[in-house]
Amino acid sequence: MKLLFLDQSGKPGGAELCLIDIAKPYRDRSLVGLFVDGPFKSLLEQHQIPVTVFATQPITVRKSSNLFQGLGSLKQLIPLLIEVVKTARNYDLIYANTQKALVIGALASFFSRRPLVYHLHDILSKEHFSKTNRQIAVTLANRFASLVIANSQASQTAFVTAGGKPNITTVVYNGFHPQTYQIDASTVQELQQQLGLQGQFIVGHFSRLAPWKGQHILITALAQCPPEVTAILVGDALFGEQDYVQQLHQQVVALGLENRVKFLGFRADIPQLMAACNLIAHTSTSPEPFGRVIVEAMLSGTPVVAAKAGGAMELVEHGVNGFLVTPGEPQELAQVITTCLMETENSKNIANHARFTASQRFDVKNINQQISQLLKQWEINIQK
Ligand code: UDP
pLDDT per residue over 334-343, tens digit each? 999 999 999 9
Contact at 8 Å (CB) between 334 and 200? no
Distances (CA, A) of 254 to 222, 269, 299, 302: 13, 30, 35, 30
Our answer on whether the CB atom of 292 is closer than 6 Å to any ligand 1 atom is yes
User: pLDDT-based confidence at 381, cuts 50/70/90?
Assistant: low
Between CA 46 and CA 367 the distance in angstroms is 22
CB count, 10 Å around CB of 383?
Answer: 6
Q: Which of 207, 204, 254 is nearest to 231 (CA)?
A: 204
Our answer on whether the CB atom of 234 is closer than 6 Å to any ligand 1 atom is yes
The predicted structure's pLDDT at residue 238: 80
**Which of 8, 270, 284, 299 to mutate for ligand 1's pocket (most ligand atoms within 8 Å of CB)?**
270
Residue nearest to atom 7 of ligand 1 (CA): 268
- 315 burial (CB, 10 Å; 0-12 / 13-18 / 19+) is buried
State the distance from the centre of ligand 1 to the C-alpha of 65, rounded, in angstroms: 24
Between CA 285 and CA 240 the distance in angstroms is 19
Region 337-352: what's the mean pLDDT?
97
State the distance from the centre of ligand 1 to the C-alpha of 270, rounded, in angstroms: 9
User: pLDDT-based confidence at 70, cuts 50/70/90?
Assistant: low
Q: Among the atoms of ligand 1, which is closest to the Cα of residue 174? A: 19
Strand 169-171 versus strand 145-150 pairing type: parallel
State the distance from the centre of ligand 1 to the C-alpha of 16, rounded, in angstroms: 9
Domain ranges for the chain:
3-175+363-383, 178-361
State the distance from the centre of ligand 1 to the C-alpha of 121, rounded, in angstroms: 13
255 sits in which H/E element: none
**Which of 209, 213, 262, 292 to mutate for ligand 1's pocket (most ligand atoms within 8 Å of CB)?**
292
Residue nearest to atom 21 of ligand 1 (CA): 14
Partners of 234 in the β-ladder: 206, 265
Contact at 8 Å (CB) between 183 and 155? no
User: pLDDT-based confidence at 292, cuts 50/70/90?
Assistant: very high
Q: How far does CA 122 lie from the centroid of its chain? A: 9
Query: Whole-prediction pTM value?
Result: 0.94
The predicted structure's pLDDT at residue 77: 86
Radius of gyration of the chain (CA): 21
**Which of 290, 293, 302 to mutate for ligand 1's pocket (most ligand atoms within 8 Å of CB)?**
293
Residue nearest to atom 25 of ligand 1 (CA): 14
Between CA 333 and CA 326 the distance in angstroms is 8
State the distance from the centre of ligand 1 to the C-alpha of 207, rounded, in angstroms: 5
Region 363-372: what's the mean pLDDT?
97
Q: What is the DSSP letter of 125?
A: S
Residue range 178-361, CATH number: 3.40.50.2000
State the distance from the centre of ligand 1 to the C-alpha of 53, rounded, in angstroms: 22
Q: What is the end-to-end Cα distance of the chain in Å, rounded?
A: 16
Our answer on whether the CB atom of 235 is closer than 6 Å to any ligand 1 atom is yes
Matching fold, domains 3-175+363-383 and 178-361: yes
Our answer on whether the CB atom of 208 is closer than 6 Å to any ligand 1 atom is yes
Partners of 318 in the β-ladder: 322
Q: Which of 180, 254, 239, 230 is nearest to 208 (CA)?
A: 239
Three-state DSSP state, 307: strand
pLDDT per residue over 157-213, tens digit each? 999 999 999 999 999 999 999 999 999 999 999 999 999 999 999 999 999 999 999
pLDDT per residue over 232-287, tens digit each? 999 999 878 899 999 999 999 999 999 999 999 999 999 999 999 999 999 999 99
Q: Which fold has domain 3-175+363-383?
A: Rossmann fold (3.40.50)
378 sits in which H/E element: helix 364-383
